[in-house]
């Protein structure tokens, strides 16, 4: 865990296992790992209670982040440049819940 770089250079906080950080309703950064094809990715739109789909193998089922970023401050995370959020690979987006605009 300690070897993981912060999602934004200089960000104050730490990566936590999702099991230890069930921050429901809070969007944060997440690390994902697909066990079917060993694909790994990070997302700025990660939710403890919602998963994403692996865009490599598109296996059934949602993959929940194994690690989530816990901000040290209560500041809202600012928007960061990154790959566009793919709504149809996101469980939350497919449910019609606010996600990338939160
Ligand atoms: Zn996969
Ligand atoms: Zn989404």
Whether residue 81 lies inside any domain: the answer is yes
The per-residue pLDDT for 89 is 95
Of the candidates 4, 1, 12, 25, which has an alpha carbon nearest to the alpha carbon of residue 78? Answer: 12
Burial (0-12, 13-18, 19+ Cβ within 10 Å), 76 = exposed
Q: Which residues pair with 41 in a beta bridge?
A: 32
The rounded Å distance from CA 43 to ligand 2 centre is 10
C-alpha distances out from residue 101 to 23, 27, 38, 83, Å: 18, 10, 29, 15
Distance CA 14, CA 72 (A): 7
What is the domain range of residue 66? 13-94
The per-residue pLDDT for 25 is 81
The per-residue pLDDT for 77 is 53
Q: Which ligand is nearest to the CA of 55?
A: 1
What's the total number of domains in the chain?
1
Per-residue pLDDT of the chain (102 residues; tens, 9 = 90+): 667 899 988 889 999 998 887 767 889 999 999 999 999 999 999 999 999 999 999 988 999 999 999 987 655 555 566 778 999 999 999 999 999 766
The rounded Å distance from CA 95 to ligand 2 centre is 9
Distance CA 72, CA 80 (A): 17
The rounded Å distance from CA 86 to ligand 1 centre is 15
């Amino acid at each position: 865990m300690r070897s993981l770089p912060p999602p934004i250079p200089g960000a104050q906080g730490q990566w936590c296992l999702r099991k230890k950080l069930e921050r429901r309703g809070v969007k944060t950064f997440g690390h994902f790992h697909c066990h079917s094809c060993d694909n790994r990715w990070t997302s700025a739109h990660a939710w403890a209670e919602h998963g994403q789909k692996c865009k490599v193998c598109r296996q059934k089922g949602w993959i929940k982040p194994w690690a989530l970023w816990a901000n040290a401050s209560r500041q809202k995370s600012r928007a960061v440049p990154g790959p566009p959020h793919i709504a149809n690979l996101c469980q939350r987006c497919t449910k019609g819940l606010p996600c990338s605009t939160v």
